[in-house]
Structure 1
Amino acid sequence: MKFSTRFLGVAVGAAMLLAPTAQAQDKTLVIASTQVPRHLNGAVQSGIATAVPSTQLFASPLRYDEGWEPQPYLAESWEISEDGLSVTLNLVEGATFHDGEPITSEDVAFSIMTTKENHPFTSMFEPVTGIDTPDKHTAVIQLSKPHPALLLALSPALAPIIPKHIYGDGEDVKSHPRNTEDVVGSGPYMLEEFTAGEAIILKKYPEFFIEGRPKMDEIIIRTIQDSSSLLIAMENGEADMYPFASSSQSIRRLQEVEHLEVTSEGYAGIGPINWLAFNTQSPKLSDVRVRQAIAYAVDREFITKALHRGVSQPQRGPIIESSPLFDPEIPPYAVDLEKAKALMEEAGFGDGMDLTVDFLPGEKDQQQTVAEYLKSQLGKIGINVAVRTAPDFPTWAQRVSNYDFELTMDIVFNWGDPVIGVHRTYLSDNIRKGVIWSNTQQYSNPKVDELLNAAAVENDVDKRKQLYAEFQQIVAQDLPVYWINAVPYHTAYDKTLINPPVGIWGAMHPLDQIDWSE
């Protein structure tokens, strides 16, 4: 069993570890992360950086097990109407927010509608027309049309239940001060301290509605952006768990550490894709022939086999290749430099062009390394690429969400169902300035909108697959994005931990059952 070591000091230099200032005989889990969250409210922000702490701070109506089966959480049971146009949530009694206020159906209704209005995944709750609250423990979600992904959307990382008495004060929920300080949550852990870029300290909520949980007294999420320092912390036992590891070199190094277990389990619902995104409204990239030329110049096989040392797999389209909805007939854009040059000539750029590529800060393998490869590879077809770095995630997100980019590397999740994780990138009505991981490519095709909107309400599996196949063929021609590889996420954790996060959402799931063995 491990006991509490509090990390409150300010890191000086990338290699310096946060210094312990106090000791307490409490069970503590230290999670190492390269991610820097802007805030902690998953109702209005997607991504790993927010989701890991948000799912500890806020409970959701449902949670999911390793077999993709929904399980009770704040909703002890639920019923779907025969016509598929309503879902009734029967809430547990006695659940409270961290300030002691009861969690009611009004909070559930407020939370889902707030998420619908503010979250970048607009398609996730788009069919929700309203939520009836006949009593304090019953919420009836009303739909304008069937929604095959609704139950999955009620998962922890996607539907946190936030307090109406805090967030219903008229302030903009996206910039609400309680997103970062004095957070009042509904989940197994309470916020004690949030120092952006350093650490998030979470304390056990003693009145959590599931008896005997959480098992840990404290969770510390330490931000260690320098990968070498992070690996040293894991090797030395100064950190206990490192989720979302994607660097092949890091994964192999951690596999050699005797006291660590390293697994790829826990990411089935995520469907992470590493890709190159185009700003389709840029004068240089608005011509599809330029985007296709770039696709013909990039070698996926070299990236996955050489740069990623065979750890990652090529990805040819917008739906993860492990999904039954993936269309294997999608054009692969095999490397053809002569064809790429001819397309550049046709587009009026026979003399070449200058482009800037950004990349998501974090693991170098998937992002910076590929961006630097693009610099050399695209030079072969007359494109001079400048690689632009960002000091942290918020800086990168600000640039990309406000269209201040030409090319950018990115990692985007399918989120279990295309309605949740795929539609947001390609729907015209999801072009939302200032919102990251929406349609930041500013891509618009009415036929794509029609196909995705039809697939979003189609319950017949075969018909749904056909709609998605046609969608994939169109975007493979239009290329708002060039898909490169599936991200090989792994979790490294101390072998003495019990119940590590191996469900479909990994660490973007409540860690209320994780514990130290005696």
Structure 2
Amino acid sequence: MKLMTRLMGAAAIAVGSLASTPAFAEGGTLVIASTQVPRHLNGAVQSGIATAVPSTQIFASPLRYDENWEPQPYLAKSWDISEDGLSVTLNLVDNATFHDGKPVTSEDVAFSIMTTKENHPFKSMFAPVESIETPDAHTAVIKLSQPHPALLLALSPALAPVLPKHVFGDGQDAKSHPANSAPVGSGPFMLDEFKAGEVIVLKKNPNFFLEGRPKLDEIIVRIIKDPSALLIAMENGEADIYPFMAGSQEIRRLEKADHLAITDQGYAAVGPINWLAFNTASEKLKDVRVRQAIAYATDRDFITKALHRGVSKQQRSPIIESSPFFDETIPAYDTDLDKAKALMAEAGYADGMDLTIDYIPGPKEQQQSVAEYLKSQLKKIGINLTVRAAPDFPTWAGRVGGHDFELTMDVVFNWGDPVIGVHRTYLSSNIRKGVIWSNTQQYANAKVDELLNAAAVEQDADKRKALYAEFQQIVAQDVPIYWINSLPYHTAYDKKLKNVPTGIWGTMHPMDMVEWSE
């Protein structure tokens, strides 16, 4: 087993004060490097990478997915879907226990799905779930108001953690429950320490219901806000895996480290899109011609080839271009400054206007650099753009979720099926003030609502594709968002690691099979 760096308490987390000691325990330690700062660790009420990576280690889910998009048993050893698509029966394993020793039952599964439905920002994910019957301790029958082709995917680790009802069902608000930061789950690892913004320490669950797993004794998630320090930690072997790496300089630099491997696998279900969002309720931006003008003034080719050094791929749709539901005929808004100026004049802004743009702090190349580029580019069509920085992610999320913005850069995931990750951005019913990654654009179009609601229940793949094609054409005309590029996510990891998570959810998947080769 390799000699590896361990973190010994909070003081060791600060850059420049790393403590190291040999890890002699069989199984060893995996150190994950991350710039993402989770507010808490409960993926049932919070979306995003920062929460999902630890949450999927702490909590088990009904199903898990393989690299071929096929559902596999997890807490549910088998499942049955009724012919009419209105009932899904989960047959649970009988040997799963929570970290406190209490058995996992159908009551926990039912409680968890309904809690997620009521509190998760992905409102469409479990919207058709009407009730869940629990005829016995190991059978949960999900009753649907309509067929839900995305349900099985929604029951996988990144989206459906099973919570202990005896902990979270005490009447306290799920979003602010104290157990969110000290969770009890039934997954392969148990929480040992959580210092917000610094470190998450997970210990092996000795009573995990899958025999012989997990292989590791410990997972440490190190929050390293300084990108340079993070790269040094990877190069020096102080960290073992760096997932969700999107910077071109980072990718190129770590490719040169002999002990590291780099892969772009593990993000198939993520579908990450980098985009410019408009607050369509803003007095200046409610006119579609202004939004179209900004789209025509923005040069995707320059952004992906120059700013992103060729590692990003252009994205011109709300549905990731690698998806079978992507419509290739969607208008691209190729750069046309003359057309942009004409649209501004038509909208009554021939003399220009002032606007403010926000961006997510942290991933500079994908966010801040594009915002600063837009400041100079939009000046060409008379828009004086002020770039407004946020000191941290919660500040940015508060502004955007609170609809206190005009333009913002953003990164939003498709999450496998459009019902889960696309609908939430465009359904008028999902305009939810205070909830980030909902319909924060306040976009409302009755036809779009109709199309998305129809696609959500259509079980025929070709018919679903046709519905999504029409949807894409409409939102391309309305431009509530200007889609720029797909994020070039890569994972860097120590070559001695085995079974590195490169399935459709990557590290947002239980790492119970990850182990060291020596």
Query: Tell me, what secondary structure is at the counterpart of 2:7?
Result: strand
Matched, 1:460 2:457: no
- Aligned-residue CA RMSD (Å): 1.3
Matched, 1:33 2:34: yes
The one-letter code sitting in structure 2 at the alignment partner of 1:141 is I
Match of 1:252 in 2: 252
Matched, 1:419 2:419: yes
The one-letter code sitting in structure 2 at the alignment partner of 1:71 is Q
Superposition pairs of residues 46-61 of structure 1, within 5 angstroms: 46-61=47-62
Provide the rounded CA distance (Å) in 2 between the counterparts of 1:309 and 1:120. 33
Question: What CA deviation, in whole Å up to 9, does each residue of 1:110-160 have, x standing for no partner?
Answer: 000010111111111111110000000000011111111110000101000
Match of 1:20 in 2: 19
Q: Does the aligned pair in 1 maintain the 2:5–2:238 contact within 8 Å? A: no
Moved more, 185-194 or 99-108: 185-194
Question: What CA deviation, in whole Å up to 9, does each residue of 1:62-92 have, x standing for no partner?
Answer: 0001111111000011111111111110101
Gaps of 5+ in 2: none
Matched, 1:478 2:478: yes
Identity percentage over the alignment? 75
Match of 2:173 in 1: 172
Q: Does the aligned pair in 1 maintain the 2:5–2:20 contact within 8 Å? A: no
Provide the rounded CA distance (Å) in 1 between the counterparts of 2:17 and 2:321. 40
Match of 1:288 in 2: 288
Superposition pairs of residues 388-399 of structure 1, within 5 angstroms: 388-399=388-399
- 1:356, CA displacement in angstroms? 1.4
The one-letter code sitting in structure 2 at the alignment partner of 1:177 is P
Matched, 1:102 2:93: no
Query: Tell me, what secondary structure is at the counterpart of 2:134?
Result: strand
Q: Does the aligned pair in 2 maintain the 1:5–1:23 contact within 8 Å? A: yes
Match of 1:69 in 2: 70
Distance 1:10 1:291, change over 3 A: farther
Q: Does the aligned pair in 2 maintain the 1:36–1:392 contact within 8 Å? A: no
- 1:477, CA displacement in angstroms? 0.7
Matched, 1:126 2:127: yes
The one-letter code sitting in structure 1 at the alignment partner of 2:192 is E
Aligned length: 515
Provide the rounded CA distance (Å) in 1 between the counterparts of 2:11 and 2:232. 18
Superposition pairs of residues 351-366 of structure 1, within 5 angstroms: 351-366=351-366
Query: Tell me, what secondary structure is at the counterpart of 2:24?
Result: strand
Superposition pairs of residues 398-437 of structure 1, within 5 angstroms: 398-437=398-437
Provide the rounded CA distance (Å) in 1 between the counterparts of 2:376 and 2:242. 32
Provide the rounded CA distance (Å) in 1 between the counterparts of 2:443 and 2:9. 44
- 1:387, CA displacement in angstroms? 1.4
Superposition pairs of residues 180-219 of structure 1, within 5 angstroms: 180-181=181-182, 183-219=183-219
- 1:332, CA displacement in angstroms? 0.5
Q: Does the aligned pair in 2 maintain the 1:8–1:21 contact within 8 Å? A: no
- 1:20, CA displacement in angstroms? 2.2
Match of 1:78 in 2: 79
Distance 1:7 1:35, change over 3 A: farther
Provide the rounded CA distance (Å) in 2 between the counterparts of 1:91 and 1:351. 65
Provide the rounded CA distance (Å) in 1 between the counterparts of 2:361 and 2:157. 25
Provide the rounded CA distance (Å) in 2 between the counterparts of 1:410 and 1:402. 15
Moved more, 2-11 or 497-506: 2-11
Q: Does the aligned pair in 1 maintain the 2:13–2:222 contact within 8 Å? A: no
Gaps of 5+ in 1: none
Match of 2:139 in 1: 138
Superposition pairs of residues 213-232 of structure 1, within 5 angstroms: 213-232=213-232
Provide the rounded CA distance (Å) in 2 between the counterparts of 1:335 and 1:395. 32
Provide the rounded CA distance (Å) in 2 between the counterparts of 1:67 and 1:194. 34
Distance 1:502 1:375, change over 3 A: same
Provide the rounded CA distance (Å) in 1 between the counterparts of 2:448 and 2:464. 14
Provide the rounded CA distance (Å) in 2 between the counterparts of 1:368 and 1:10. 31
- 1:359, CA displacement in angstroms? 1.0
- 1:21, CA displacement in angstroms? 7.2
Provide the rounded CA distance (Å) in 1 between the counterparts of 2:38 and 2:10. 19
Provide the rounded CA distance (Å) in 1 between the counterparts of 2:314 and 2:192. 42
Question: What CA deviation, in whole Å up to 9, does each residue of 1:497-518 have, x standing for no partner?
Answer: 0000100001100111100012
Provide the TM-score with structure 1 as the length reference.
Answer: 0.97
The one-letter code sitting in structure 2 at the alignment partner of 1:364 is K
- 1:360, CA displacement in angstroms? 1.3
- 1:7, CA displacement in angstroms? 4.3
Q: Does the aligned pair in 1 maintain the 2:325–2:469 contact within 8 Å? A: yes
Provide the rounded CA distance (Å) in 1 between the counterparts of 2:358 and 2:164. 37
Match of 1:441 in 2: 441
The one-letter code sitting in structure 2 at the alignment partner of 1:19 is L
Provide the rounded CA distance (Å) in 2 between the counterparts of 1:453 and 1:263. 36
Query: Tell me, what secondary structure is at the counterpart of 2:132?
Result: strand
Provide the rounded CA distance (Å) in 1 between the counterparts of 2:78 and 2:40. 31
- 1:101, CA displacement in angstroms? 0.8
Match of 2:373 in 1: 373
Question: What CA deviation, in whole Å up to 9, does each residue of 1:199-247 have, x standing for no partner?
Answer: 1111111111111111111111111111111111100000000000000
Q: Does the aligned pair in 2 maintain the 1:9–1:19 contact within 8 Å? A: no
Q: Does the aligned pair in 1 maintain the 2:13–2:198 contact within 8 Å? A: no
- 1:43, CA displacement in angstroms? 0.3
Question: What CA deviation, in whole Å up to 9, does each residue of 1:476-499 have, x standing for no partner?
Answer: 011111000011100000000000
Q: Does the aligned pair in 2 maintain the 1:379–1:385 contact within 8 Å? A: yes
Question: What CA deviation, in whole Å up to 9, does each residue of 1:169-198 have, x standing for no partner?
Answer: 1111001111113x2112111111111111
Moved more, 357-366 or 370-379: 357-366
Distance 1:394 1:17, change over 3 A: farther
- 1:362, CA displacement in angstroms? 2.3
Provide the rounded CA distance (Å) in 2 between the counterparts of 1:21 and 1:315. 43
Match of 1:328 in 2: 328
Distance 1:118 1:477, change over 3 A: same
Superposition pairs of residues 230-249 of structure 1, within 5 angstroms: 230-249=230-249
Distance 1:413 1:86, change over 3 A: same
Question: What CA deviation, in whole Å up to 9, does each residue of 1:313-362 have, x standing for no partner?
Answer: 10001001111111111111011111111111111222212211111122
Distance 1:17 1:508, change over 3 A: farther
Matched, 1:158 2:169: no
Distance 1:376 1:474, change over 3 A: same
Provide the rounded CA distance (Å) in 2 between the counterparts of 1:22 and 1:353. 59
